[in-house]
C-alpha cells in the first residue's frame, strides 16, 4: 500500500529559485493538506484542499501556491524560495473534509534547505 507519497525526499535550493513539491495519494481521499514542521513550532498548516478544484489557505500560506486538478495529486509550489522556508514539509490526507475526528495519513516528508 503506497498511501501518501512525497517527492523529492531532500532538496537544496538557492534563494529566489522556484520548485514544486509533489504529493500523491492512492486512497481516494477527498481532503489533502500541506504542513511545515519547524523545531519549537509544531506542525503549521500551509494550504489544504477539500476536493478536486478546491483549495484554501491555512495558517502560513504566504510564499506558497497549491492546485488540485485531480483527487490524487496536491502539489505545493514555492514561487521564490527564501531561507525562512527551510523546513520539513509534510503532505497529509483524510477521507472526508470537515471531519475533525478522522485520522490523517502522512507522507514521509520533504526536507528542504534554502541557501
Interaction site with other proteins (CB under 8 A)? 4, 40-45, 59, 90, 92, 98, 100-101, 103-109
CA 103 – CA 115 distance, rounded (Å): 35
Q: Which is nearer to other proteins, 48 or 81 (CB)?
A: 48
Q: Which residue has the cell 502539489?
A: 75
Q: Which is nearer to other proteins, 85 or 94 (CB)?
A: 94
Q: What is the smallest separation between the CB atom of 15 and other proteins, expressed in angstroms?
A: 26
Q: What is the smallest separation between the CB atom of 34 and other proteins, expressed in angstroms?
A: 12
Q: Which residue has the cell 490523517?
A: 104
For the chain, report the end-to-end CA distance as a whole number of angstroms. Answer: 35
Q: Which residue has the cell 498548516?
A: 45
Q: What is the smallest separation between the CB atom of 92 and other proteins, expressed in angstroms?
A: 8
Amino acid at each position: 500500500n503506497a498511501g501518501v507519497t512525497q517527492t523529492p525526499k531532500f532538496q537544496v535550493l538557492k534563494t529566489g529559485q522556484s520548485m514544486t513539491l509533489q504529493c500523491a495519494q492512492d486512497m481516494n481521499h477527498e481532503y489533502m493538506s500541506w504542513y511545515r514542521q519547524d523545531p519549537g513550532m509544531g506542525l503549521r498548516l500551509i494550504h489544504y484542499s477539500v476536493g478536486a478544484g478546491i483549495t484554501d489557505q491555512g495558517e502560513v500560506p504566504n510564499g506558497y501556491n497549491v492546485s488540485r486538478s485531480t483527487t490524487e495529486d496536491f502539489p505545493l509550489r514555492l514561487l521564490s524560495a527564501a531561507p525562512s522556508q527551510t523546513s520539513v514539509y509534510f503532505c497529509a490526507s483524510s477521507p472526508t473534509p470537515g471531519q475533525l475526528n478522522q485520522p490523517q495519513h502522512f507522507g514521509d516528508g520533504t526536507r528542504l534547505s534554502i541557501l
